[in-house]
Amino acid sequence: MNRFWTSLCGLAICAGAFIGCDKKSGSAGATGGGDKVKIGFLVKQPEEPWFQTEWAFAQKAADEKGFELLKIGTQDGEKALAAIDNLAANQAQGFVICTPDVRLGPAIVAKAKANNLKLMTVDDQFIGKDGKVMEDVHHLGVAARDVGHVSGQALFDEFKKRNWTPADAAACVVTFDELDTARERTAGIIEKLVENGFPKDRIFTTPQKTTDIPGSFEATNVLLTQHGDVKHWLMAGMNDTAALGAVRAAEGRGFTAETAVGIGINGTDCIDELKKPTPTPFYGSVLMEANLHGYDTSAAMYKWIKDGVEPPKAHFTGGVLITRKDFEEQLKKHGMWR
Ligand code: FCA
């Protein structure tokens, strides 16, 4: 693990112990006076490098602009709602959140209002009581279908390059339909495969119960058992951990970099995998802009609090393919390599 990721992990641990940690960093970080802007940054999966990268860039904004950032891991609804009360008790004026459950949207909005806190969502958009996206809440997310297209195209390009045929190849797409951005990404993957002429009946979906490597590993294992005749697998999902779980399951059944191709999404949670001296079936990822998601949301929140400038209602970012060959260069180009 390089220095960047090691120090990011330190951040996650600090966030896990937010209440104790906050007091310390508050007194160490404050320049005196109670009028310093304080902004919370709440994430659903603080162990994911994606969110650690967002935190690191939100911290960069805080250091440059002079506000205090409170990084909090909120893995479930109870923690998220408690953290909002806690932010208010700590005199924060606003927060950015990637919620553990999009259906908590109305409760989080109500809690923010009751505590007079400004609110912005990042990555995952709230779903209202009517089942529709809460477009009133300011949001910075990913152009999910486009990002899925990049993944689907990369899978198809590898399928072609390797001269595989639909008779002995199939696609395994790990899905998580509960989350809009995930559903859109996997729909985009499938759409692009089909658009390129990959037969629909050779694309298999398998739902992950949890959005982590074990969740995707289990989902993929079920599928691999059902389709023991497939010689070449194309594997993908809504993010890097989904693709990594699929790849680990394929390896468990003897597939290698020669016989399977996995493509992730995020580009931040696969660095150790891409660094491995011997290639695994994990071929590459779609690198998205965790740097902007962290920096721009917290900087926009600061401006909103300090100058009353409202952020754009919604903004969506894209992604580019990275592989073992160029991931270092691409991460450097996007300011995410340390
Ligand atoms: C969701 C996923 C993350 C990341 C983010 C942009 O929150 O869970 O891994 O892809 O969208």
DSSP 230-282: -SEEEEE-SSHHHHHHHHHHHHHTT--TTTEEEEEEESSS-HHHHH-SS--SE
Token pair 């409202």: residue: 310
Give the mutation target among 53, 124, 189, 263 for probing the ligand 1 site: most ligand atoms within 8 A of CB.
Answer: 124
Number of neighbours of residue 311 by Cβ within 10 angstroms: 18
Token pair 């729909």: residue: 187
- Asked if residue 278 has pLDDT above 70, the reply is yes
Task: For residue 203, give the DSSP letter.
Answer: E
> What confidence tens digit (pLDDT) does each residue in 85-126 have?
999 999 999 999 999 999 999 999 999 999 999 999 999 999
Which pTM does this prediction carry? 0.91
- Asked if residue 329 has pLDDT above 60, the reply is yes
What's the 46 CA to ligand 1 centre distance in angstroms?
11
Contacts of 314 (CB under 8 A, 6+ apart): 135, 138, 139, 140, 141
Pairing of strands 282-288, 319-323: antiparallel
Give the mutation target among 43, 50, 55 for probing the ligand 1 site: most ligand atoms within 8 A of CB.
Answer: 50
Instruction: Give the residue from 82, 85, 140 showing the smallest Cα distance to 116.
Output: 85
Contacts of 40 (CB under 8 A, 6+ apart): 69, 70, 72, 83, 84, 87, 92, 94, 95, 96, 97, 117
Compute the average pLDDT of residues 228-238: 98
> What confidence tens digit (pLDDT) does each residue in 241-271 have?
999 999 999 999 999 999 999 999 999 999 9
What's the 243 CA to ligand 1 centre distance in angstroms?
13
Compute the average pLDDT of residues 183-197: 98
Whose C-alpha lies nearest to ligand 1, atom 9? 239
Question: Which amino acid does the sequence have at 56?
Answer: A
What's the 265 CA to ligand 1 centre distance in angstroms?
9
- Ligand 1: atom nearest CA of 290 is 6
Number of neighbours of residue 209 by Cβ within 10 angstroms: 12
- What's the pLDDT score for residue 246? 98
Whose C-alpha lies nearest to ligand 1, atom 1? 123
* Rounded-to-integer distance, Cα 262 and Cα 246, Å: 8
Which residues are near ligand 1 (CB < 6 Å)?
A: 48, 50, 98, 123-124, 142, 181, 211, 239, 266
CA angle, 234 then 49 then 88, to 5°: 135
Buried b (16+ CB within 10 A) or exposed e, 16-55: eebeebbeebeeeeeeeeeeebbbbbbbbbbbbbbbbbbb
What's the 223 CA to ligand 1 centre distance in angstroms?
24
- Asked if residue 312 has pLDDT above 70, the reply is yes
> Which residues in the chain belong to E strands, given as ranges?
38-43, 68-73, 94-98, 118-123, 138-142, 169-175, 203-207, 232-236, 260-266, 282-288, 314-317, 319-323
What's the 239 CA to ligand 1 centre distance in angstroms?
7
